[in-house]
Homo-oligomer: A and B are copies of this chain.
């Protein structure tokens, strides 16, 4: 379920759809539009997979540079209008992911190589809803992450004899 190698045609469409939604949000909030930000929005929306602000800035650096301030401000706005979603895997920096037409899913994070993959489970979602209902807890969001080793990393680890267990990890 890893998204990769999005064809050029598709990224253009995604970028355009995102900019429409973004501009609608800007108008609704009584803000102003700007070239810099629109370019950023298009680029970010078209990003494949999961990325940090730093990774994003590195990639954007190819063309004109963008200040961290504007980058973070745009990232925040895109989250406000649901174009973007962020995930905290405990490494210090947040990971972002385009949310345009991306149905909800949860993640597996490889402690060996940092690879992030996705999963969904109707069953888990249902059990979760039931648990919340029984506790009279009004569920508005959830975060479910699996940590461990992806297949290649696990194989690599099994070859060596001594393997260090992953230490403390904030759940």
A22-60 CB mask vs B (1 if < 8 Å, else 0) is 000000000000000000000000000000000000000
**How far is B169's CA from A94's CA once the two chains are assembled, in angstroms?**
11
Closest residue on chain B to residue A108 by CB atoms: B137
Within 8 A of B (CB), among A57-87: 76, 79-80, 85-87
Are B117 and A171 neighbours in the complex by a CB distance under 8 Å? no
User: Oligomeric state, in number of copies?
Assistant: 2
Nearest residue, chain B, Cβ from A143: B171
Q: Interface size for chain A: under 10, 10 to 19, 20 to 34, or 35 or more residues?
A: 35 or more
Given contacts A117-B135, A124-B124, contact A142 B143 (CB under 8 A): no
Identify which of B127, B138, B142, B147 contacts A140 (C-beta below 8 A): B147
Tell me if A151 is interfacial: C-beta within 8 Å of chain B.
yes
Within 8 A of B (CB), among A80-138: 80, 85-88, 90, 94, 108, 110-111, 117, 119, 121, 123-124, 127-128, 131-132, 135-138
A-B contact pairs, 12 of them (CB 8 A): A94-B170, A108-B132, A110-B137, A124-B127, A127-B127, A137-B150, A137-B151, A137-B154, A138-B154, A140-B165, A142-B147, A143-B144
Q: Which 6 A-B pairs have the closest CB atoms?
A: A79-B168, A143-B171, A136-B151, A138-B154, A138-B149, A86-B170
